[in-house]
């Protein structure tokens, strides 16, 4: 509703009601995120305090190492994480993961968010749904170089790309760093990448991923405002399948629930139900 230059009393009243409703809706939306965020943060802080005390007891080392392996889903050297385990930097990282999960718009069966993305050289912008093609599934993989789970699973993900490239397209989106050197860093990560302060820094980090030779998909970069990461709750890594303009598969938040094998299973079922490829890949043609 637009407010004219010399509004009548009735128009002013309507505008006031509209403004009040908009403000109330905005506040309700913020409370829907902030209340559970602060509650979860309090619970997390208490849990971290308890685990920090347990962590200091020498006879608990093996049990904690097993817990880390379960959560990370990969083998990690103890010295990589031990000194920072359950510390404030780790706590803040988990707070960010919780916030991204609460901000998430993407829901299975619903219309997909369509965030702005950037080419690795920073010269071209796209919308995510530009990469969908008819009824052909688009598998979207979110992650960053400093996430060891994401990097290790790239081999498995590459095998899925090779196996199902005839029935689906694949796209990787580079997001905010999971373990940047200026936040919760891992000792032997061998990547001194800080959290991105500019789009140029994010593009340079994405280039590191390209140069690793581990990637078998098109790579695009999330905006500096983290639009894709927020919309998909992608921090630190996550998998989605979009078909048409709808979310058909929403993977769990990483690292614990980052499961490329579930994507493979979904694509297997898709290939069996519709073996005909009805659209040429847009990703391969760019």
Assess whether 15 carries a catalytic annotation. Answer: no
Measured between alpha carbons, how far is residue 229 from residues 99, 106, 118, 285 in Å? 11, 10, 13, 26
Q: Which long-range contacts (CB under 8 A, 24 or more apart) does 207-210 make?
A: 207/120, 208/145, 209/144, 209/145, 209/172, 209/174, 210/120
CB neighbours of residue 99 within 10 Å = 19
Burial class (CB in 10 A: 0-12, 13-18, 19+), 221: buried
pLDDT tens by residue, 167-206:
999 999 999 999 999 999 998 777 889 999 999 999 999 9
Residue 27's contacts (CB-CB under 8 Å, 6 or more residues apart) are none
**Residue with tokens 């990560």, as numbered in its chain:** 189
Supply the Cα-derived Rg of the chain in whole angstroms: 22
**Residue 94 CA from chain centroid, whole number:** 13
Name the 3-class secondary structure at 69.
Answer: helix
The list of the chain residues with pLDDT below 50 reads 1-5, 7, 11-12, 15-16, 18, 23-25, 285
Residue 230's contacts (CB-CB under 8 Å, 6 or more residues apart) are 100, 103, 104, 105
Q: What is the pLDDT of residue 190?
A: 77
pLDDT tens by residue, 46-67:
999 999 999 889 889 999 999 9
Catalytic residue among 3, 133, 145, 147: 147
What pTM value is reported for the model?
A: 0.84
Alpha helices in 104-181 (DSSP H): 148-164
């Amino acid at each position: 509703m637009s407010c004219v230059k010399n509004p009548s009393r009735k128009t002013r009243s309507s505008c006031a009601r509209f403004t009040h409703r908009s403000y109330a809706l905005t506040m309700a939306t913020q409370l829907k995120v902030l209340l559970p965020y602060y509650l979860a943060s309090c619970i997390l802080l208490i849990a971290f305090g308890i685990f920090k005390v347990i962590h200091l007891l020498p006879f608990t080392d093996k049990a904690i190492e097993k817990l880390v392996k379960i959560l990370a889903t990969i083998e990690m050297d103890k010295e990589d994480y031990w000194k920072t385990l359950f510390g404030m930097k780790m706590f803040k990282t988990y707070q960010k993961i919780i916030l991204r999960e609460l901000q998430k718009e993407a829901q299975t069966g619903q219309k997909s968010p369509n965030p702005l993305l950037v080419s690795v050289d920073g010269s071209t912008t796209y919308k995510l749904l530009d990469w969908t093609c008819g009824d052909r599934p688009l598998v979207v993989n979110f992650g960053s170089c400093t996430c060891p789970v994401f990097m290790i699973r790239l081999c498995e993900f590459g095998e899925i790309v090779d196996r199902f490239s005839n029935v689906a397209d694949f796209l990787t989106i580079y997001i905010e760093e999971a373990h940047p050197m200026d936040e919760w860093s891992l000792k032997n990560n061998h990547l001194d990448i800080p959290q991105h302060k500019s789009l140029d820094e994010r593009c340079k980090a994405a280039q590191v991923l390209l140069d690793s030779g581990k990637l078998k998909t098109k790579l695009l970069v999330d905006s500096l405002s983290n639009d894709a990461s927020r919309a998909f709750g992608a921090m630190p890594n996550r998998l989605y399948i979009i078909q048409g303009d709808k979310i058909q598969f929403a993977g769990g938040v990483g690292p614990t629930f980052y499961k490329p094998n579930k994507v493979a299973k979904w694509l297997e079922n898709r290939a069996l139900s519709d073996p005909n490829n009805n659209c040429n890949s847009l990703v391969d043609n760019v």
